[in-house]
Amino acid sequence: MTSRFKAVIFDLDGVITDTAHYHYLAWKRLADSVEAPFDEAFNEQLKGVDRMGSLELILARAPRTYTPEDKRALADKKNAHYQELIATMTPDDLLPGALRALEDVRAAGLKIGLASVSRNAFTVLDRLGIRDRFDDVVDAATVVNGKPDPEIFLTAAAHLGVDPQDCLGVEDAVAGVASIKDAGMFAVGVGSPEVLQRADRVIPSMAAFRLEDY
């Protein structure tokens, strides 16, 4: 298998594994505690947004305001609950097609990166048993600006030693696709073409990922 690209950079949540439900449960508990309306439809707005950005969106719907110290405490509270939930993850939680995609990219001789706004990315990779599949992992602790800013994908490319135009990015969120495109990379969206309109190509799931298609 050959490819015109030199590296593939994957998002984590919604691409390699689905932690969205765990995030939903943790954010729902926090939203309830601050009396902010929260449901699955609103939760969609948090996809691809980092922890503090998601918290700001939730608190904007709360009946009172919070100090920066309050916000840090709330973010820590949410993260503690989320960590309890992801501690139950196993390799069985890999999304269908995700492991094969990693194997195909490696077999083609390309470098593999991960660009995730999660501060628990390494924990999740360890639980899934695939940390050693990646040449480099860039998480929220590595960058200043979260998605849709292109910094995280540009940082991943730099760490891999590959020019952005030689990278393919894989994302399931609007913010993530924007990050890839603004980094100057080819974007493969996982989900709906109607939602991921900036993606160069959209596939319904990772089971449909074929490196040779790009």
Helix residue spans in the chain (DSSP H): 20-33, 40-43, 51-59, 68-86, 98-107, 121-128, 151-160, 174-182
pLDDT of 50: 82
Catalytic-role residue among 11, 104, 136, 172: 11
pLDDT of 26: 96
Tokens 């492991």 correspond to: 99
Catalytic-role residue among 13, 135, 139, 166: 13
Dig out the tokens for 183 from the structure: 């980094």
Q: Examine the residue annotation and report whether 13 is marked as an active-site residue of this protein.
A: yes
Integer-rounded Cα Rg, in Å, for the chain is 17
pLDDT of 45: 87
Dig out the tokens for 104 from the structure: 């195909």
Report residue 76: phi and psi, to 5°: -65, -40
Question: Which residues have C-beta within 8 Å of that of residue 154, sequence separation ≥ 6?
Answer: 164, 183
Q: What is the 3-state secondary structure (H, E, C) of 145-168?
A: CCCCCCHHHHHHHHHHCCCHHHEE
pLDDT of 77: 96
pLDDT of 2: 72
pLDDT of 1: 67
Q: Examine the residue annotation and report whether 76 is marked as an active-site residue of this protein.
A: no
Report whether 168 contacts 214 (CB < 8 A): yes
* Sequential pLDDT tens for the chain (214 residues): 678 999 999 999 999 999 888 989 999 999 999 999 999 999 988 877 888 999 999 999 999 999 999 999 999 999 999 999 999 999 999 999 999 999 999 999 999 999 998 888 999 999 999 999 999 999 988 999 989 999 999 999 999 999 999 999 999 999 999 999 999 999 999 999 999 999 999 999 999 999 999 9
Question: With a threshold of 0.75, does the pTM exceed it?
Answer: yes
The structural domains of the chain, ordered by start, are: 7-18+91-213 (3.40.50.1000), 20-86 (1.10.150.240)
